[in-house]
Structure 1
Amino acid sequence: MHTPDSSHRTLAAALLPLVGGPANVASVAHCMTRLRLGLADPSRADEEALRAAPGVLGLVVDGGSYQVVLGPGVVTKVTAEFETLLDGSPSPSPSPSPSPSPRENQNQSQGRSTADELALRGSELRESRRRRNATPLKSVLRRLAAVFVPLIPALVGCGILAGLNGLLLNAGWLPGLTPALAAVASAFMALIAVFVGYNTAKEFGGTPVLGGAVAAIVVYPGVAKVTAFGVHLSPGQGGVLGALAAALLATYVERQCRGRVPETVDMLLTPTLTVLVAGLGTLYGLMYAAGAVSTAIGTAANWLLATTGPFAGLVLGGLFLPLVMLGLHQALIPLHTTLIEQQGYTVLLPVLAMAGAGQVGAAVAVYVRLRHDVSLRTTIRSALPAGLLGVGEPLIYGVSLPLGRPFLTACAGGAAGGAFVGFFAMLGDKVGATAIGPSGWALFPLLAGNRGLGATAAIYGGGLLTGYAVGFAATYVFGFTDRVRKAA
């Protein structure tokens, strides 16, 4: 019988050769449910074996990035074991072997020639598919996600503490503790620009600390004394978008310096010129422009839900599951973070969370209809708790997507739940989340709005129930082909 640690180690050891071995792994990271691997040569990965490996709930391939869906909790432990295996992998050393005879030499040469031809053709086919999939838009979204995904744990923790502090303030409890909680919950958001700048430079090939140094200008109180375009700047103007742009500019300036500055003075001049040029560009251009874009995002989100509430909710809730399936949903993090910085909460996340409700309803319908499919029902029982907490990948890859139709009916449930929340937004009842990451029932501690916590929770809960009901009904009636019905 395996202990939990040994099972995670076994799964990591099983995955490593399937992605081409230690030498083929260029980067390792994880989000809430996925092990994210950057591969030096994607053609060396065995996609079919990865998808079929025990413990793997799904696989998303996007260029050289392989996202192995393992589920919440499991992915953190498997990633740690995976990194341990990489750190402890020995360097290959040549071993002496007897010289082959001329006939063996000829046979081996012919075998290698055939194998090399097959390998080359397989590599060409995979590279062709990679080029078709690696669109500029997907590449940009994937890299943006890599900047913001590592920030999610801090966003979740600080968001929950901010919500707890709000409850204590409203109730008048523990007045001596609330200032301390406010400081703990707010410090990260006050300096999030620095972390965004650090991660941006790291992702785009610059020196991380230089990206963080330039991005820190955005939140430095002294910028209030600087005048750009005839107005005084405000600390934090432009928010995370300004920090992102500042770090990208710093990375570009640093690269230009590295190619032109003599090596003898590179350590002195390159950091100085990078901070100076990128810093001035941030103050006299990027902060103002990013501030205008951030304001436009907040205005657009509020207008969208206040004017076209049910329709906007229908579209957002219905299309979110395909984004999750493609791994592109993380690219929405900058929008959520911008809204949280501006308004204290994001009104988009509760609407998008309805997609998970539709998925849960669809999974329950599959469980009820396919009574004789023991394996599938076991998968649903194990994945449903995570689905109720808003982690949809196990149900997507383990249930609805393989069956086909239930994935579409789950989207219908998400659309219905989104329309429900959007309808109340159009009436003036905003439902928002103070942090990103959790969804489903786990989002309740993070809810905020303009009508009080009780009304906000009731609207959000009503949206979840609507998503469950429509996802279940649509799947029960339309989610199965005649062949599946007869088998059931």
Structure 2
Amino acid sequence: MDSNDSKDSLTAEAILPLVGGPANVVSVAHCMTRLRLGLRDRGLVREEALRALPAVLGVVADDETYQIVLGPGTVARVTPAFEALLAAEPPGTAAELAAKGAYLRASQRQRNATPGKILLRRIANIFVPLIPALIGCGVIAGLNGLLVNLGWLPGVTPALAAIASGFMVLIPVFVGYNTAKEFGGTPVLGGAIAAIIVYAGVAKVTVFGMTPAPGQGGALGALAAALLGTYVERWIRGRLPDALDVLVTPTVTVLLTGLVTLYGLMYAAGELSAAIGTGANWLLDNTGVLAGLILGGLFLPLVMLGLHQALIPIHTTLIEQQGYTVLLPILAMAGAGQVGAALAVYVRLRHDTSLRTTIKSALPAGLLGVGEPLIYGVSLPLGRPFVTACAGGAAGGAFVGFFSMLGDKVGSTAIGPSGWALFPLLSGNQGPALAVGIYAGGLFTGYAVGFAATYVHLQPGTLHPSEQG
């Protein structure tokens, strides 16, 4: 076992007793930065001790899961180590916990979650697993574009283009697979139905005098088609004897849903996708400053609530259409405002050693776009700095939006990273160099306004909540 494996295992071992032990854990999952746990009784969590662990950057609780912020990379390594500890329980324990977890999650959703929040989280669950591939392919696409513009390595750039584009072309298939999995269908049937959308042969199909184009409708069409397929599958399966199920259910599901997809969903989703692209461009071209102000200013509350992931389908649609999403660089300005606010707190509250230590440990992650540690460890507990951080994000968003009104768009070829980590993914209609310059200007605007607004409004005598009373 190498040092990283040992460190991750020790982290998992430290976390488990602090969340109530194996008997209190009913589900385990993770996203880009957070270990998401379903817990039987949150009263058993020793939150202060959990926050004190060196690897823990913060904790977040929503209606469904208790989320421990570990940061990108770390969470992907700690999660399997945590799952391995649970798997070491006596036989029968895992099954019992899974059954209890399903019941408790259903009860929690019924009591505490609104239909809108549930839908947004389920949509996010479809797209979040795609983020690592989107990042990798996006970075490769950006590198390839740079090499092409410079005229370097002409023998290599076609290979890079193929590597970067393969996943992007097949995104609908993965979306279909994940949609069926999330909504209780057979994942591979969801993928098979969504594959119709990207199949080149659809160009030979005439539908009411029109011919669909391969890929028309994209990820949104795949989501709709797989969702329909899931309901068709479940309806058929509930009406057939077991002897016929294995043959009839998948055949009828793919056939019926495939026909609806070809003769309707591809066109409807194509129009919706086009409207999203047109709307985003119109918004930034005509109201760029105002749109940037609003989007940059409101994004931190969305992150705080965990609802920012619901924007992933829109980003994905824009990337499919234009090669980049023009919304992400503006939304990333919220993180800049957060960093500026944290720096002001650090300077202003010189005698609050505990808070300054928290800021020093969380600031590097904040600069790279992981904002939860600063949100939950600094600005939100203090109250006013959270508002002034939003002001910084609004200013940075308005800066980027202003250049969009001038015709200089800034976009990201992938989703996931933010802050400085977004630089390798930047692109735009005037080339990557100008996009980098505008984005950097937005970041420094967000830093400056977030710092100034926080410094002016924060009183030097303010104490960190952990030191009050």
TM-score (norm 2): 0.91
Deviations 1:363-384 (A, max 9, x none): 1111111122222212211211
CA distance in 1, matches of 2:158, 2:462: 62
Q: CA 1:127 to 1:291, structure 2 compared with 1: closer, same or farther past 3 Å?
A: closer
Q: Report the counterpart of residue 456 of structure 1 in structure 2.
A: 435
C-alpha displacement of 1:128: 9.4
Q: Matches of residues 59-98 of structure 1 in structure 2 within 5 Å?
A: 59-91=59-91
Q: CA RMSD in A?
A: 2.4
Tell me whether 1:213 sits opposite 2:210 in the alignment: no
C-alpha displacement of 1:9: 2.5
> In the comparison of the two structures, how many residue pairs are matched?
453
2:46 is paired with a residue whose SS is helix
Determine which of 43, 48, 59 is the counterpart of 1:46: 43
C-alpha displacement of 1:18: 5.1
2:240 is paired with a residue whose SS is coil
| Deviation larger for 53-62 or 80-89 | 53-62
Q: Report the counterpart of residue 210 of structure 2 in structure 1.
A: 231
Pair member with larger Rg:
1
Q: Matches of residues 8-157 of structure 1 in structure 2 within 5 Å?
A: 8-17=8-17, 19=19, 21-22=21-22, 25-37=25-37, 39=38, 42-46=39-43, 49-50=46-47, 52-53=49-50, 54-55=52-53, 56-91=56-91, 133-157=112-136
Q: Report the counterpart of residue 240 of structure 1 in structure 2.
A: 219
Opposite residue 464 of structure 1, the aligned amino acid is: L
Opposite residue 139 of structure 1, the aligned amino acid is: I
Opposite residue 441 of structure 2, the aligned amino acid is: G
Tell me whether 1:175 sits opposite 2:172 in the alignment: no
CA distance in 2, matches of 1:339, 1:296: 10
C-alpha displacement of 1:328: 1.0
C-alpha displacement of 1:85: 1.2
CA distance in 2, matches of 1:377, 1:17: 28
CA distance in 1, matches of 2:387, 2:277: 30
Q: CA 1:285 to 1:434, structure 2 compared with 1: closer, same or farther past 3 Å?
A: same
CA distance in 1, matches of 2:126, 2:148: 34
Q: CA 1:247 to 1:444, structure 2 compared with 1: closer, same or farther past 3 Å?
A: same
Q: Is the 8 A contact 1:71 1:393 kept in 2?
A: no
Q: CA 1:130 to 1:273, structure 2 compared with 1: closer, same or farther past 3 Å?
A: closer
CA distance in 2, matches of 1:67, 1:227: 49
C-alpha displacement of 1:229: 4.2
C-alpha displacement of 1:455: 1.7
CA distance in 2, matches of 1:216, 1:176: 31
Deviations 1:365-423 (A, max 9, x none): 11111122222212211211111111111111111112111111111100000000011
| Structure 1 unpaired stretches of 5+ | 94-122
Deviations 1:104-131 (A, max 9, x none): xxxxxxxxxxxxxxxxxxx99x999865
Q: Report the counterpart of residue 369 of structure 1 in structure 2.
A: 348
Determine which of 315, 319, 343 is the counterpart of 1:336: 315
2:66 is paired with a residue whose SS is strand
C-alpha displacement of 1:46: 3.1
Q: CA 1:222 to 1:50, structure 2 compared with 1: closer, same or farther past 3 Å?
A: farther
Determine which of 266, 291, 296 is the counterpart of 2:275: 296
C-alpha displacement of 1:4: 5.0
Q: CA 1:10 to 1:484, structure 2 compared with 1: closer, same or farther past 3 Å?
A: same
Q: Report the counterpart of residue 100 of structure 2 in structure 1.
A: none
TM-score (norm 1): 0.87
CA distance in 2, matches of 1:433, 1:384: 23
Determine which of 393, 413, 417 is the counterpart of 1:438: 417
Deviations 1:52-102 (A, max 9, x none): 513343333333333222223322222121111122222369xxxxxxxxx
Tell me whether 1:428 sits opposite 2:418 in the alignment: no
Q: Report the counterpart of residue 384 of structure 1 in structure 2.
A: 363
CA distance in 1, matches of 2:11, 2:43: 15
Opposite residue 78 of structure 1, the aligned amino acid is: V
2:35 is paired with a residue whose SS is strand
Deviations 1:14-58 (A, max 9, x none): 433555554664543222211123x3xx55233752465133433
Provide the identity percentage.
73
CA distance in 1, matches of 2:114, 2:30: 23
Q: Is the 8 A contact 1:228 1:288 kept in 2?
A: no
| Deviation larger for 358-367 or 71-80 | 71-80
Determine which of 236, 240, 244 is the counterpart of 1:261: 240
Q: Report the counterpart of residue 411 of structure 1 in structure 2.
A: 390
CA distance in 1, matches of 2:44, 2:407: 48
Q: CA 1:127 to 1:144, structure 2 compared with 1: closer, same or farther past 3 Å?
A: closer
CA distance in 1, matches of 2:175, 2:338: 32
Q: Is the 8 A contact 1:405 1:480 kept in 2?
A: no
CA distance in 2, matches of 1:475, 1:188: 43
CA distance in 2, matches of 1:144, 1:297: 17
CA distance in 1, matches of 2:267, 2:24: 43
CA distance in 1, matches of 2:386, 2:69: 17
Deviations 1:198-217 (A, max 9, x none): 11111111111011000101
Deviations 1:211-244 (A, max 9, x none): 1000101100011122334311010000000000
